[in-house]
Amino acid sequence: MLIAHVPERELRDAIIEVNGPDVDAVIQVGTNLAMARLAGTAEFWLDKPVLAINTCIYWWSLRQNGIDDKIEGFGSLLLEH
């Protein structure tokens, strides 16, 4: 359960650590890790997709139920797709 309490600064550092010129996207897997908002912000400063698993699951659930709403603040997946 402690994964839910990882500070955003630590998450940011991890994103920066795995990023590189050969990385097309950063994908966070771990359903209790609170990274949805940070992933959206990280897309802005990395200029590449950063996908948090909870955001992906939410997007999929919406689309499977015919809901095409676009939502700001959680990255390009919810905003553009």
| CA–CA separation, 45 and 57 (whole Å) | 23
d(Cα 79, Cα 52) in Å, to the nearest integer?
Answer: 14
pLDDT tens-place string over residues 22-68: 999 999 998 788 899 999 999 999 999 999 999 999 999 999 999 99
pLDDT digit string (tens) for 1-25? Answer: 777 888 999 999 999 999 999 999 9
3-class DSSP state of 73: coil
What stretches of the chain adopt beta strand conformation (E)?
26-28, 50-52
CB-facing half-sphere around the CA of 64: CA atoms within 13 A: 6
pTM score: 0.87
Structure tokens at 71: 């939502």
Contact 30, 6 (CB under 8 A): no
